[in-house]
């Protein structure tokens, strides 16, 4: 999932043209999946340009999975898995699909499946991050931390250090990276490193501007008091 896909529609102006555009795209952007919606989707996909079909499926899969309905979410997962396994799908679409599958499985606690998809996404990215959310390495590090073991923790540290070299665009994603790095550093006994990461996390949490000229509040960090206090204690700051 790209940030562009995730935010599509939120930035459309409230105009007749925008409303018409939204209605026209509902067949692949909405989370509808009853018999009529499925038939409509199949009909439209068959008529779509071949180069656009995978993109339409991925966007529909994201909408279905985000619907909050168990059956529709499962349908979205299956649709995304089909994209990931399609040898004809463009590389960047496969990256997006693998990243989404890894995120879905991590969030559900299916760590083996999450690790497999996230590793495949990172491998597919190689030297070209197109299709990436910017969080594949961070999520894989979180999975490795959850699974435990010295070797996994050291790999997680390396993943987070690599992510820091080319950090995510949004501040809340960077904050997530830093919090994960604090936890990994503490697990490895690196208290000085943990303190440095915690200080960076607190600075991100205190930011009042996103750094994006046209979206000053997009991705600002929302952190609960307990997490803030924990970070301050790791950083050695007064509460």
| One domain for residues 21 and 115 | yes
- Taking each helix axis from N to C end, the angle separating 50-65 and 91-108, rounded to the nearest 10 degrees, works out to 10
167 with 108, same domain? no
Average pLDDT, whole number, for the chain?
Answer: 90
Distance (Å) of CA 186 to CA 95, 151, 153, 154, 159:
31, 15, 10, 12, 16
Nearest-angstrom CA–CA distance, 46 and 56: 11
Q: Are residues 1 and 101 part of one domain?
A: yes
Residues 110 and 6 in one domain: yes
Same domain membership, residue 87 and residue 166: no
Its pTM stands at: 0.85
Verify that 87 and 177 share a domain, yes or no: no
Q: What are the tokens at 229?
A: 């206090």
- 119 and 146 belong to one structural domain: no
- Which pLDDT tens digit goes with each residue over 93-102? 999 999 999 9
User: Are residues 157 and 39 located together in one domain of the fold?
Assistant: no
DSSP 8-state assignment for residue 177:
H
Parent domain of 120 = 1-127
Torsion of CA 48, 51, 53, 54, to 10 degrees: -170
Cα–Cα distance for residue pair 37/40, rounded to 1 Å: 5
Residues 15 and 66 in one domain: yes
28: phi then psi, degrees, rounded to nearest 5: -115, -10
Mean pLDDT of 129-136: 92
| 17 pLDDT more than 80 | no
Q: Exposed, middle or buried by CB within 10 Å (0-12, 13-18, 19+), for 196?
A: middle
The CA-based diameter of the chain, rounded to the nearest angstrom, is 62
- Work out the pLDDT band at 127, boundaries 50, 70, 90: confident
Q: Given this model, what pLDDT does residue 1 score?
A: 40
94, 139: one domain: no
Q: 62, 42 in Cβ contact below 8 A?
A: no
């Amino acid at each position: 999932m790209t940030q562009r896909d995730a935010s599509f529609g939120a930035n459309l102006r409230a105009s007749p043209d925008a409303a018409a555009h939204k209605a026209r795209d509902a067949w692949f952007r909405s989370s509808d999946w009853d018999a009529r919606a499925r038939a409509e989707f199949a009909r439209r996909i068959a008529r779509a340009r071949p180069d656009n079909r995978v993109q339409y499926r991925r966007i529909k899969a994201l909408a279905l999975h985000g619907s909050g309905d168990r059956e529709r979410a499962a349908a979205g997962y299956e649709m995304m898995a089909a994209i990931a396994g399609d040898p004809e799908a463009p590389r960047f679409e496969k990256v997006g699909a693998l990243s989404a599958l890894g995120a879905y499985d991590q969030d559900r606690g299916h760590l083996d499946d999450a690790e497999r998809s996230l590793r495949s996404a990172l491998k597919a990215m190689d030297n070209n991050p197109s299709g990436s959310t910017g969080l594949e390495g961070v999520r894989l590090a979180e999975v490795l931390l959850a699974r435990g073991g010295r070797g996994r923790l050291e790999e997680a540290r390396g993943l987070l250090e690599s992510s820091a070299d080319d950090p995510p665009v949004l501040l809340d994603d960077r904050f997530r990276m830093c919090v994960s790095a604090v936890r990994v550093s503490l697990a490895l006994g690196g208290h000085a490193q943990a303190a440095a990461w915690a200080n960076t996390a607190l600075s991100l949490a205190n930011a009042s501007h996103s750094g994006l000229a046209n979206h000053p509040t997009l991705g600002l960090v929302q952190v609960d008091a307990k997490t803030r206090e924990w970070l301050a204690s790791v950083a050695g700051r007064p509460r």
